[in-house]
Structure 1
């Protein structure tokens, strides 16, 4: 497969999205990647079109294994481990980078071996994204979700670099609701006549 990329944030966002399909993150709903059809839907949703290759059970197993590796990379304790893990993703896929024209401009392309699997192609997208993030933004953009009830990890490629939650619309909202309820309880306890009374 030949991949065209102009922005490392794409691969980093795919890395985060893949990690967040895992059952240890989505405890209530379970694994998002349950069969070849759901894998194909994930790839298509993120702009990685597998062409006329149907996703097989073997592809599903390999992508799940890749998901575990990507999580380990994102959660790695230091930048050396992040870079080593991301480099390994590209090495295993035997990627050949080259510069070519795309829409009239010179653009980096990556080409995987003809016999590469869906997991190999996905590893190339993710590996380049993770390496680009380290080089451009630094290793502090690799984070754990700040929600106390979440096991997610993510790569923050936002301009401000202040992202705190793996899924802001889910984890962030939960934290905001919990904080709001805690404030309400404190306010009610502080009101005269609503706090605990002494036993007479």
Structure 2
């Protein structure tokens, strides 16, 4: 979810800003199955929520671009503390164990997202290492991603899009001119 948020930026997508309004933010949250306390009881994201999430997006990119592992850990810890109280493990409605990070009662949408992103990035730092925070290898893309693949060899933020474009370009370059 963290890299999906970062990659909604117009600096990444040729389609422009992918979070241009509060409705787009609501769709993003729904697509990631995020049910934030700040949006309970039928509340929808406001323009202020969107502005705060766009600022959070810049903070998350800064973590992914951090050159020192200690700096990335410090920044992610700061996000995790923005409105978090403590993580816990609870059963969902299907009886599966799920992580739950409680947030303070007055946490904003951006603060709740910051906690989720911060905890997730800290988990990656601990289990996989800082070198899993990467820039997309496509020369036509400015995207970023966290490589959570088992082998750690992922090269593209969106393999089906960026990887495919590179492969098609390489194939065309190898073909003799007609």
TM over 0.5: yes
With normalisation by structure 1, the TM-score equals: 0.81
Matched residue count:
172
- State the Cα deviation string for residues 88-142 of structure 1 (Å, max 9, x = none): 101222x111545415677643111111000011111111110000100011100
Give the one of 69, 75, 78 matched to 2:68.
Answer: 78
Query: What is the alpha-carbon root mean square deviation over aligned residues?
Result: 1.7
With normalisation by structure 2, the TM-score equals: 0.90
Contact 1:97 1:108 in 2 (8 A): no
Q: CA distance change for structure 1 residues 98 and 80 in 2, over 3 Å: closer, same or farther?
A: closer
1:178 aligns with 2:169: yes
**Structure 2: gaps (5+ residues):** none
Structure with greater contact order relative to length (CA < 8 Å, sep ≥ 6): 1
1:30 aligns with 2:28: no
Give the one of 147, 165, 169 matched to 1:156.
Answer: 147
Contact 1:99 1:106 in 2 (8 A): no
Give the one of 111, 117, 129 matched to 1:138.
Answer: 129
Instruction: Report which of the two structures shows the higher radius of gyration computed on alpha carbons.
Output: 1
**Structure 1: gaps (5+ residues):** 1-13, 189-193, 195-200
